[in-house]
Structure formats: structure tokens, C-alpha cells
Amino acid sequence: MSPIIPKSDDKVNQKRDAHLDDVLDLIHTIMHQFRSRQFQALRDDSYDLTPMESRVLGFFERHPGGTQSDLARHSGRDKAQVTRLIAGLRERDLLRGEADAADRRNTRLSLTEAGQAAQRHIKRHAEQLNVQALQGLSAEQRQVLQDLLLQVKNNLD
């Protein structure tokens, strides 16, 4: 060993456990399958929603009276994209806006009756997909799976 160049702890070039990649690839594949089926259902139903439109409806269901700025912050999307999404959903009578009493420059958004019906439909389909994805697992197995995935998520946080 050279006295000039100290020994380094080279973790990059060490042999990795290939099974770690397999686990994360499997998680990615499962989520891709799940999302693909969700999005296919959105395209096939009478609401003809895009995945992002579905997320917008979900946001305003959870945050009635929220604003465009709230959605932009939450989603990480730029304001122009959020504006277009909201305008399209308002044109289709799925979202309604009311001027903020405290600041008339802000519009408070919430689901219309049609928007609520669309959300119920989306949730029913998601529940069916959840049941299908977890069929054959006992309550204990589902809990173990959830705990393990939460640990993976926390490791990445």
C-alpha cells in the first residue's frame, strides 16, 4: 500500500447482491401492472379521464376548497399544466370554482355532483383491483407485506 494514497473504502466496485435489484424491480413491475389496469379502466369508462385528471379529482375530494396553487404545490406540476387540467375538468362539469371570500383573486375548487360520481367510480374500480392483487393472502401476510414495504419506503426517506 502506498504511503501517499490512503486505502479507500470502495463500495462502488464491490460485488452487489443481485437479489436486491430483483426485489425493487418486482415492486416496480407490480406498480406498473396496477397503474396500467387503473388507467385502462379510466380510458374505457364513460368518464374518459386521463390518469392526471383522476389524480386532480382525488386531490379536490381530499381537499375541498383547495386552490390551483395548493394542487401545484402538492403535485409538483407547473402552474400552466395545472391550469389546463382544472379548466378541462370545469368544462366537463366535474369541478366547480368559487371565489375565495377573503381573497377574490383565489378560486376555491371542489367536486361537482358529477365529479363526486366519477370519484366513486374510480374508487370502486381501485378497490376491485386491490382485492384482485391481494387475493390468496391472509390478513397476517398482508400485514407483513405492508410492514416490509413501509420499511423499504422509510429506508429511502
List, for residues 4-13, the tens digit of each pLDDT value.
666 555 555 5
Confidence of residue 132 (pLDDT cuts 50, 70, 90): very high
User: pTM of the entire structure?
Assistant: 0.69
* CA-to-CA separations, 26 to 7, 75, 86, 101, 144, in angstroms, rounded: 37, 25, 35, 49, 17
More confident residue, 106 or 143: 143
Q: Measured between alpha carbons, how far is 157 from 118 in angstroms, rounded to an integer?
A: 33
Please report the pLDDT score of residue 14 as a whole number. Answer: 57
Q: Which of 49, 72, 48, 50 is nearest to 59 (CA)?
A: 72
Q: Measured between alpha carbons, how far is 82 from 52 in angstroms, rounded to an integer?
A: 10
The torsion of the CA quartet 124, 127, 132, 136, rounded to 10 degrees, works out to: -140
- What is the average pLDDT across 37-65? 87
CATH dotted code for 47-156: 1.10.10.10
List, for residues 66-122, the tens digit of each pLDDT value.
999 999 999 989 899 999 999 999 999 999 999 988 888 889 999 999 999 999 988
Is-contact 110 60, C-beta < 8 A?
A: yes
Q: What is the mean pLDDT of the chain?
A: 87
Task: Provide, for the chain, the percentages of residues in helix, strand and coil under a 3-state DSSP scheme, each rounded to the nearest 5.
Answer: 65, 5, 30
Confidence of residue 47 (pLDDT cuts 50, 70, 90): confident
CA 49 to chain centre: 15
Please report the pLDDT score of residue 50 as a whole number. Answer: 86
Q: Is the pLDDT of residue 40 over 90?
A: no
Please report the pLDDT score of residue 3 as a whole number. Answer: 58
Q: Is the pLDDT of residue 138 over 90?
A: yes
> 19 by DSSP, 3-state: which?
helix
Is-contact 100 106, C-beta < 8 A?
A: yes
